[in-house]
Structure formats: C-alpha cells, structure tokens
Structure 1
Amino acid sequence: MLGLEHRVARTARKAGLMTASAALIAVGAGFLTLAAWIYLAATQSALFAAGVIGLVYLGAGAVMLGLAARTPPAPHTAPPDALGGFSPMQLVLVSFLQGMDQGKKANHRQ
C-alpha cells in the first residue's frame, strides 16, 4: 500500500506544479501581449497591433492543433512466442512458487 500512496502523492505534486506552471505561463503571456500591443500601437497603429498579435496567436493555435491532431505511431509489440510472453527467468520464478505451493498443500494433507 505504501507504493500506491507514494505514487498518488507524486502524481498530486506533479499535477500541482503543472497547474502552477500553466498559470504563470498564462500571466507571462498576458504581459508579453500587453507589451507587444503598447510597442506596436506606439510605432504603427492600434489596427496594426491587433492584426499582428492576432496572427501570432492564430499561428500558435494552428501549430498546437496540428500537433494534437497528429496520430502517434503504433507501439511496437513483440510477436507471441511459445513461452506465453514470459521470459525464462519469469518462468523459473513461477515454477518455483508453484512448487512451494504444492509442497505446502502436500504437507497439510498428512
């Protein structure tokens, strides 16, 4: 049970850090957008600033959409073998445990 609790705690910590990171990135993007707006509006016009910033966000969204729509390659699966997918060491361990179990059962029957 300790392993499960450790994994849950690690996952919760990771989720919290990811959420905080996303919030900080969003705030940073907001300030950078404002800075770009101020600079572009001062050097060109408000219409130009809106167009440039809109195109940047549109392009970033299109790239993200393309990445999300991409299908990952199929995972490589090994062909089935005569050992039922177990390694030789796993078979030795299973055989040992079955022998121990049979020994316990034989000892209780006497």
Structure 2
Amino acid sequence: MFGIRKKAAKTAKRAGLLTGGLLLCTVGAGFLTLAGWLALVPIVSMQMTATIIAAIYLGIGLIMIGIGVRSETAADQPVHQPQAAADGPPILQAFMYGLQAGAQSDQTRH
C-alpha cells in the first residue's frame, strides 16, 4: 500500500515539475520571439521578419515531429531472441542473453 502512495507522489511531483518547466519554456519562447522580432525589424521589413520567425518555428516543429515518429517506430520493432545453446560458445550465449535482458529492461522503463 505504501509503495503505491510513494509511486503516486513521485509521479505527481514529476508531472508538476514537467508542467512548470513547460510553462516557463513557453514564456521564454515568447520573449525570445519578441527579442528576435525587435532585432530583425530594423534590418529587414516586418513581413520578412515574420517570415523568418515563422520558418524557425516551423523548422523546429518539423524536427520534433520527425524525432517523435522515429522513436515511436523504433520501439515497435521486435526484440531478437538469443540463439539456442547449440549455436555458439557459452560466452557468446551469455553475451546475447545480457543484450536481450538490457533491451527488455530499457523498453519497460519508458
């Protein structure tokens, strides 16, 4: 029972920190956008400034989408099973078993 409460408290703390961090990053992105706008307007026209800032946000968004799609498809690939006992020396079998255990452990953690 206490393990569940501890885990719930840890999850709530993590969610709160992530939410607060996301909020601060959003405010920071707004100020960086304003600073970029004020720096670019004297150099180029307002229309070109808006185009540059929009292109930066679009590029970052596309990169994030690409990373999200790539990591999602990588997690869907099956984990290879270690070879049978007759397929190699015992040290190789132990190595393959360790690789499989590490891969399964990493998948369950995320």
Shorter-normalised TM range:
0.5 to 0.7
The residue number in structure 2 matching 1:22 is 22
**Structure 1: distance between partners of 2:6 and 2:25:** 28
| 1:36-47 equivalences in 2 (<5 Å) | 36-47=36-47
SS of match in other structure, 1:76: coil
SS of match in other structure, 2:39: helix
**Structure 2: distance between partners of 1:45 and 1:38:** 11
The residue number in structure 1 matching 2:49 is 49
**Structure 2: distance between partners of 1:77 and 1:2:** 37
State the identity %: 43
**Structure 1: distance between partners of 2:17 and 2:78:** 29
**Structure 2: distance between partners of 1:19 and 1:46:** 33
- Structure 2: which 5+ residue stretches go unaligned? 85-110
Q: How far 1:51 sits from its partner (Å)?
A: 0.9
**Structure 2: distance between partners of 1:75 and 1:15:** 30
**Aligned letter for 1:38?**
L
Q: How far 1:68 sits from its partner (Å)?
A: 1.6
Kindly name which structure, 1 or 2, has the bigger radius of gyration based on alpha carbons.
1
- Structure 1: which 5+ residue stretches go unaligned? 82-110
| 1:1-110 equivalences in 2 (<5 Å) | 1-70=1-70, 71-73=73-75, 74=77, 76=79, 78=81
Q: How far 1:48 sits from its partner (Å)?
A: 1.3
TM-score (norm 2): 0.67
Q: What is the number of residues matched between the two proteins?
A: 80
The superposition leaves residues 15-62 of structure 1 with CA deviations (integer Å, 9 ceiling, x where unpaired) of 000000000000000000000001101221101110110100010011
